[in-house]
Structure formats: C-alpha cells, structure tokens
Structure 1
C-alpha cells in the first residue's frame, strides 16, 4: 500500500509571496520564469520546502516544474515514493 502524500500548491505560493515577494495576484499556475525567480531563489525555495515537507528537492527540479502547482505535484509524487 502506497502512503500517498498530498501537497497543495497554495502553501507553496504563500512561501513565494512571503519570502520572495512575488506579486499578490500570482496564481498557482503562474510560471516561475515570468516572476523572474533566479536560480538562487529556486535553491532557497527548495531548501525551505525540503525542511517543511521532509521531501528532498533541488532548485533544478523546481525550475523544471515551473509553477507552484507543479512543485506541489512533484512533492506529492516524491513523498509517496520516498
């Protein structure tokens, strides 16, 4: 039986708004490239999410995911398989 972890994208978006000052009107489907998030920000986000969810993430994985919704999906999949 797989232990399914379900991560919602809204808390990830809250982290982006609180710690990285993305605009309030940013949605869970807004692309990170359009927000001008550089690789250092994505690494910092990866560290924060790894600590918060106990699932190892890299800045490159977050960059590839590209949106808060896709990062939540990635955390859910990695958490269920970890």
Structure 2
C-alpha cells in the first residue's frame, strides 16, 4: 500500500482554466502545444505552482512535461525528493 500522496492534476487544471482561460473541456492529457501556451504563460504558471506547492519548478520543466498530468507527476516527484 502506498500512503504517499501525489499531487493531483485537477488543481493545476483549475489554475489554467481560471488564470489563463484555457477551454473548459481541457483535460490533464491535453498537450500544452494544443492550448497555445507560450513560454511566458508557462513561466507564470511555474511561479503560481511554486507558491502553491512550495516546490521549485521552472517554465522550461513545464514545457518539457507537456501536459497537466505530467506536471502533476513532476511536482509529486520533486516534492518526494525534498
């Protein structure tokens, strides 16, 4: 049984939908490229997520992750390492 709680994608999706006005039907698996999220938006998202979770993440890491599901996994992994 794994009692480590990972970061869920839903709160990250909520940030994208409320702060960056991505379409309401966006899912955790929707590629950032399909959402036309540029590097500035990803940097802004990184700042928000760093403050929200207390885990340092960069816009470049978010771009590499490519979608919300992968970002949640990235944050979970980085949080587990700290």
The TM-score range, normalised by the shorter chain, is: over 0.9
TM-score of the aligned structures, taking structure 2 as reference length: 0.94
Q: CA deviation at 1:59?
A: 0.2
* Partner-residue secondary structure (3-state), 2:61: helix
5+ long unaligned stretches in structure 2: none
List, as ranges, runs of 4+ consecutive aligned residues in structure 1 with deviation greater than 2 Å. none
Per-residue deviation, residues 24-64 of structure 1 (Å, max 9, x unmatched)? 00000000000000000000000000000000000000000
RMSD of the TM alignment (CA)? 1.2
Q: Show the counterpart of 2:74.
A: 74
Q: Show the counterpart of 1:36.
A: 36
Report 1:32-71 matches (<5 A). 32-71=32-71
Q: Distance in 2 between matches of 1:10 and 1:73?
A: 12
Q: Distance in 1 between matches of 2:73 and 2:41?
A: 20
TM-score of the aligned structures, taking structure 1 as reference length: 0.94
Asked if 1:25 corresponds to 2:21, the answer is no
